[in-house]
Structure 1
């Protein structure tokens, strides 16, 4: 009996240790976690060559964790956020970009039912109309965030998605750079969204959300349509389409800014 209890206790202790090794809040356990994750990725069907190319010499990215802990912009009031992210100069730039890309935006709107004003407002807010997409290698960002205990499950899924994108040859690992949370391209798709909603609208054989504006516009519209966007519907706060914008960004101040920006573009 005593021996059985001892064995049971050791099993529970081992189980607890294994569970704790799944994530961590400092650099100490990162190498062990990474080795286990790489084995899991290969077991899921991703080639060992891709896994090693993406993660082979990876180290813990402390900067990414600091940025994750310090998202102050979403604590601003709507007026403060609007002044910072969508001032009159940015809205004027949006109107020029909308005219510049009018033909392809009209095609996208006809196919997906999402107004060009909404697409361009998201484009402007996410990357300054493609001007700054981020330059952090996303495998560095995503591995740090997947290891971090705060949102480990969420970012582990994103890391797996990013590896699958690379393994299929949809993007080169060297090109997979973005913002600190691993977002990719001109409207900052997370890897799982890239897998599900990215569209090859320019017909070159694969979606490219970094360099192809037709692909960027169509993929953004496809995301919103797949999340329930109602063609011809309003996007003001309280509307059904405003609710769909929550699937784009859960921060109320961000959704309200998208809606305001799009309304200004329509005037």
Structure 2
């Protein structure tokens, strides 16, 4: 889920201690890094007062790079559909997805039986997001999330994601040291934001963990669970004008991304 498009309904599962409300009150946002240290100290105090370990934030700094990228995301969605697909869903990805459709047929069939999401849809998302897991990212999630939570542009949204990331680490779902992604706090092979991990990640391989970093079964089933949770109709069409096309908007709000996912899935299925 590209972050540009994820600013949508974010009723997060921060239920354990009501982190979001308290943390949002910790300090005001800022438009540059001058007040970040004070904001961070107040935020950490608010979190710790609720019994949550804030130590993953001990080494974070205001990240000017992530601010610059955040201000310029629209550029990534320019051009024609074919130009976008050449970058994000080239012919080599279609070929690889067709191979995975065969080699992972048993897993994909089980996931479709449980959630009603077609295999080509999951493969399209997996391929477009991280090249089937090859480009999941290795950047710590806490620094960008803290920077964007402090930044006034989308402070409430990213404070919720920072709360959720700390909850994931505190509950032991994923060790803080392993919480790495592409740069905006996303986790795993289909790039779940932390609040979406709490809401939709599932343990499909039965090992007792919801592992979106290493477990192919958990990655694909969790992605299917997300789509089903946003109204995906089992077996329904996903092209423009069809019943499931609107659900792409809940994955990514950029219209060209939605068009590309639908077309990518179609090419995989054909």
**1:247 aligned counterpart, secondary structure:** helix
Q: d(CA) in 2 for partners of 1:88 and 1:64?
A: 31
- Please give the alpha-carbon distance, in whole angstroms, between the structure 2 residues aligned to 1:161 and 1:106: 31
Could you give the per-residue CA deviations for residues 49-98 of structure 1, whole angstroms, max 9, x where no partner exists? Answer: x312x001221111111111121111232221112111211111111122
Structure 2 residue aligned with 1:8: none
Match in the other structure for 1:85: 88
Match of 2:66 in 1: 64
TM-score normalized by the length of structure 1: 0.89
* 3-state SS of paired residue (2:211): coil
Corresponding residue pairs, total? 246
Q: CA RMSD in A?
A: 1.5
Shifted more, 69-78 versus 32-41: the winner is 69-78
**1:39 aligned onto 2:45:** yes
Q: What's the counterpart of residue 151 of structure 1? A: 154
How many angstroms apart in 2 are the aligned matches of 1:19 and 1:247?
28
1:266 matched to which residue of 2?
269
Over alpha carbons, which structure has the higher Rg? 1
Distance in 1 between residues matched to 2:157 and 2:25, nearest whole Å:
16
Q: Which of 137, 141, 147 is residue 134 of structure 1 equivalent to? A: 137
- In structure 2, runs of 5+ residues without a counterpart are 1-23
What residue is the counterpart of 2:172 in the other structure?
Answer: 169
Q: Which of structures 1 and 2 has the larger relative contact order (alpha carbons within 8 angstroms, sep 6+)? A: 2
Structure 1 alignment gaps of length 5 or more: 1-17
Determine if contact 1:109/1:116 at 8 Å carries over to the other structure.
yes
How far apart are 1:226 and its partner, in Å? 0.6
The structure with the largest helix share of the pair is 1
TM norm structure 2: 0.88
Shift of 1:42: 2.1
